[in-house]
Amino acid sequence: MLSKIEQYLFYIFVFSIPFQTRKILWYSGWRFEEWSSVSVYLTDVLFFVLLLFWVVNFLKQGRKFSIFNFQFSIKLQFLSSKLKNPNLYLFLFIIISAISIKNFDNYSISWFQWGKLVEFIVFYYYLSRYAFSKFGLNGFFLAIITSGVFQSIIAYFQYAKRSNIGFKYLGESFLSADLPGVASFIMPDGEKIIRAYGTTPHPNVLAIFLLTGLFGFYLSYLYIHIHREKKPLADGMDWFLVSSYVVMLFGFLFTFSRTIIFAWLMSFLARSVMSLRKNYINIWRIFSRDRLFVVIVSSMAVMIIFSFLYQDKIISRLLINSEDQAVQLRGFYNSEVIHGNISYFGIGTGNFINWMVKNNPYLPYYAYQPVHNIYLLIYSENGILGISAFLLFLFFSGKRFLLSDAFKRFDGLAVFVFIGTLLFIGFFDHMFWTLQQGRFVFWSALALGTFVLDKNTQN
């Protein structure tokens, strides 16, 4: 009974990842500012309950906790860990981030942000060491896909109505063409087009979540069925997956997120080409067995229909002007970080906005945002030591993956391309490091890579 409750709670948690439902506990100043506030999300509460189940199950089994591959007993074994162990650098990153707090004058915000970092690293181990094994990847991706369909339907109505549609309790933002700060773009005739948000804080965040749903579809529909050959195409679940894919792809395009849509196109092509070159799927099977053919045809159909219906919007969105506010702000943030003083520990965890205000006190309020690059953001807040530890964690994790047999499998290749896509997007956005939904997607992807690698090693 408790096991079933835990399982359903896990699926509800995954479905709820895009929701902004939260309680704002505190914020600095007279006006709410996302980056200087303390909030507890519904997903935080659900994850905490799931952690309790994890702890209880471990205690029942009489097992020791070894989150970082170090035995926390009388002797701390991490001192003798191999330097090639990526967990060592993740542990060092947590320590460096804590030390960097000494450079921040608002300790409440800094310790809160450090706590969020610890929360998501624990989430990474929860998925890779426990949840994926206990609940399976099929259920995880099905919850992601179902949530993606729900978000896509909301996205369509937001676009059609040019405003929010009333899901306030799920965290839907208030949207209006007349409201400043709403993500939009201007047509040549002066019409303002609002990009779809779903229940996330920004269209780019919705795009990232839907990208995860699209990846989940590829892995579930192609790997499970082509490589394991379990069920025929006429099976009801297959049609549900294909229909969901079409709906999600439309919702994905309604975000008009240039970088993320481009990254999806490139990763889709890379995955297909690498699969053929590595002989994961031979050309005859593509056309003699329906599944990959269905994916290609449905993808092309959605893109052609969307392009035909919204050609003028697409052209307007693709025209990138160096004078666009978004382009100028990104360049400004990058230059501020690059030309700043080099520091071992940085300006302090969660301190980028406070640092920006001190160095540029007369900017308009909307300009005070984190640098739109997670690597520069980590460097600025945690210094040379912090970004070095984080990059070494990624490097040794990637090296283990590339040298393993997991990379020779379809699922391993797909996961590797997906993580690479997110790391590429990280050069152009900060959501993986600052926003609840983006953090869940990012650490879920890393956990998936670790799980696939460990599972292949055990086999």
Q: What is the pLDDT of residue 191?
A: 84
pLDDT per residue, tens digit, the chain (459 aa), is: 788 899 999 999 999 999 999 999 888 766 777 888 889 999 999 999 999 999 988 877 755 555 555 444 434 444 445 677 888 999 999 999 999 988 776 778 889 999 999 999 999 999 999 999 999 888 999 999 999 999 999 999 999 998 999 899 999 998 887 787 788 888 888 888 899 999 999 999 999 999 999 999 988 887 655 554 444 444 567 788 999 999 999 999 999 999 999 999 988 777 666 655 544 444 444 433 567 778 888 999 999 999 999 999 998 888 766 556 677 778 888 888 887 777 888 888 888 888 888 888 888 877 888 999 999 999 999 999 999 999 999 999 998 888 887 777 767 778 888 999 999 999 999 999 999 999 999 999 999 999 988 776 665
3-state class percentages of the chain: helix first, strand second, coil last, to nearest 5: 70, 5, 25
Long-range pairs for 130-139: beta carbons < 8 A, 24 or more residues apart? 130/54, 130/57, 131/10, 131/50, 131/54, 132/447, 132/448, 132/451, 133/451, 133/455, 134/7, 135/7, 135/10, 135/11, 137/219, 137/220, 137/448, 137/451, 138/220, 138/224, 139/7, 139/10, 139/11
The counts of H helices and E strands in the chain are 17, 4
Question: Looking at residue 176, what DSSP letter applies?
Answer: B
Per-residue buried b or exposed e for 388-403, using 16+ beta carbons within 10 Å of the residue's own CB: bbbebbbebbbebbee
Alpha-carbon torsion angle 55, 60, 64, 65, nearest 10: -10
Provide φ and ψ at 128, rounded to 5°.
Answer: -70, -30
Q: Report the alpha-carbon distance of residue 306 to residue 252 in Å, rounded.
A: 11
Q: Report the alpha-carbon distance of residue 397 to residue 415 in Å, rounded.
A: 13
Neighbours of 74 (CB within 10 A): 5
Residues in the chain: 459
Q: Report the alpha-carbon distance of residue 272 to residue 280 in Å, rounded.
A: 10
Neighbours of 362 (CB within 10 A): 6
Q: What is the pLDDT of residue 212?
A: 96
Q: Report the alpha-carbon distance of residue 307 to residue 254 in Å, rounded.
A: 11
Contact assessment for residue 297 and residue 287, using Cβ atoms and an 8 Å cutoff: no
DSSP helix/strand/coil, 76: strand
Is the pTM of the predicted complex or chain greater than 0.85? yes
Residue 17, both tokens: 């990842």
Residue 277, both tokens: 């070159």
Contact assessment for residue 451 and residue 312, using Cβ atoms and an 8 Å cutoff: no
Q: Report the alpha-carbon distance of residue 290 to residue 292 in Å, rounded.
A: 6
Residue 286, both tokens: 């593509």
Tell me the three-class secondary structure of 320-348, residue by residue: CCCCCHHHHHHHHHHHHHHCCCCCCCCCC
Quickly tell me which residue has 């995955």 as its tokens: 271
